[in-house]
Every structure is written in C-alpha cells, then in structure tokens.
Amino acid sequence: MWTRFIDAHLHLQDSRYGDQVDLVIDKARKSGVCSMFCNASKEKDWPIILDLSAQYPWIIPFLGIHPWYAQTTTKDWETRLYDSLSLCEYGAGIGETGLDKARPQEFEQQIALLEVHLDIALDLGLPVSLHCVRCWGKLIEILERRAALYKLPTVMIHSFNGSLESMKRLTRLGCYISFSSWIADPEHIKLRETFLETPLELVLLETDAPDQINPALADQEDLITSYNEPTLITAIYRAAAYQRGLHIENFAEQIWQNATVFANRALIR
C-alpha cells in the first residue's frame, strides 16, 4: 500500500524559509507528504499563501489572523478575508485564529476576532484551525455556546497541549485534535496519554513548521534548513502509529481520511 502523509498545520510563508521554501516543499513531497495545510498569521501572509497554493495545488490555504497579531488588524480586514476566501476555487480554510492568554493585554480583542472568524467560516462553509494557549476553558465555552445556538464549522485544534478533559469536551463537539511532534517525546507523558484516548477518527498530525523543532524526533540529519520542516511529519506519523499499535500504512490512511473534511475538493485534484 502506498503511504500518503498530510501535514495538518504549518507556515510555509514564514520568512525563515526565505528562498529555500521550494526546496523544503520538494523534499517533503519526495518524502510522501501529499498535502499541507498552510496557515496565515497576519494579513500580509494571505497573498503569499495563495500564490504558494496556486503553484502547488496540494498546499491548502488557510487565511486568518493569529491571536498574537490581533492588534495589527485594520479597517475592513474581515471583508478582505471574506473576499480572499471566496476566490479559492478548491480547498481553503480559516486560520490560524484562536486565543492566547500569553498576550493578556489583547485578550478581549482576540475573542472578538475569533468570533468574526467563526462567523465567516460558518457563512462560507469552511473549516477553521484554532490556536489555544492557557485558556482552554474560555475557548471551549465559546465553542459550546455557538454549537448550542446554531452549529459549529468544522474545527481543528492545532498543536493540542490541553488536558484529557479538554480533549473530551472538544471531541464531544466534533472538533478534530491535531498533535505535533511532542507526542514523540517520552517526557510528555500526559500528552501521550491524551493522544491515545483521542478518538482515532478525530486525530490529525502536524509539524507547525518552521516552529516546534523537537530534538526527540528522528530524521533531522538532512534537513534543508535549521528549522522544522514538513518532511518531518513522516517521523511524527511513525511515532504516533507505534504508540497506537497500528501499522503505519493503515494509520496514515485513517489520518488522510480524517483530513479530507478540511481540504474540500483539493485532495482529489
């Protein structure tokens, strides 16, 4: 069986890749990475990501405002986001957005932006990639309230590092849980336990490249750059499949099927 991998969250537009981004993408492709969900952090990322997606159709554009950059939004940003997403003929999503208590001075603005992102996702029928740090209760409260009032868009919690109880509340809402390389680290015992308890049909895997390079992860000897790269998703898959006691081919195919709801028609191009 041909094993195909998908990186559910990364940032190929990041300036740290510079003029090596095409080499990074090519190496990942040769490693069996057949799709990548490329997430924006701020508005100036949007055209770069759309250009990458046009050049490489297997790169799915996710456009939005990261909570760290909530203060950078300018008038009518939401209209420009709506219009940019409406132009995507195939797969697209919203992200990354969310909440981060590490930036408490902007927290109310983060909440307001998150609500707008979720409204646009629902209106356009697009999935959302959510960031959450130190405020799981508030994020889940917002999602539960919206689920009770109308419905939720398809939601991925990226680079999950919350508690077992948070995972259970999120998956009861139908949210997908994306794990990064830290599940390969034996010191992250509670996270690994939560990964094993997460329903397999709601699991995704990601690198969050170029961030989150993890010394515990294999296959780092021949990277193009000194940063995390999407080619390392294959090592995350192997570690995750081993922990689950599953053959890598069957495990990877299940993750691929999980991810199709985020890619719309793009994966069948």
- With H, G, I as helix, E, B as strand and everything else as coil, classify residue 235: helix
Nearest residue to 98 (alpha-carbon basis) of 68, 54, 56: 68
Does residue 268 fall inside a structural domain? no
Does residue 106 fall inside a structural domain? yes
Q: Which helix (H) or strand (E) holds 138?
A: helix 136-149
Residue 31 confidence (pLDDT): 94
Does residue 168 fall inside a structural domain? yes
CA distance 231 to 33: 7
Is 194 exposed, middle or buried (CB count within 10 Å of its CB: 0-12, 13-18, 19+)? Answer: buried
Query: Residue 90 pLDDT more than 80?
Result: no
Evaluate whether 257 touches 4 at the Cβ level (below 8 Å): no
Reading the block at residue 218, the tokens are 């294999």
Does residue 101 fall inside a structural domain? yes
Indicate the number of domains in the chain: 1
Does residue 184 fall inside a structural domain? yes
CATH number at residue 91: 3.20.20.140
Does residue 76 fall inside a structural domain? yes
DSSP string across 29-63: HHTTEEEEEEE-SSGGGHHHHHHHHHHSTTEEEEE
Evaluate whether 206 touches 159 at the Cβ level (below 8 Å): yes
Does residue 186 fall inside a structural domain? yes
Is 79 exposed, middle or buried (CB count within 10 Å of its CB: 0-12, 13-18, 19+)? Answer: exposed
Evaluate whether 8 touches 2 at the Cβ level (below 8 Å): no
Does residue 46 fall inside a structural domain? yes
How do residues 213-252 score in pLDDT, each as one tens digit?
Answer: 877 776 666 788 989 999 999 999 999 999 999 999 999 9
Evaluate whether 96 touches 122 at the Cβ level (below 8 Å): no
Residue 269 confidence (pLDDT): 44
Range of the structural domain that residue 190 is part of: 5-243+250-263
Confidence band (pLDDT; 50, 70, 90) for 198?
very high
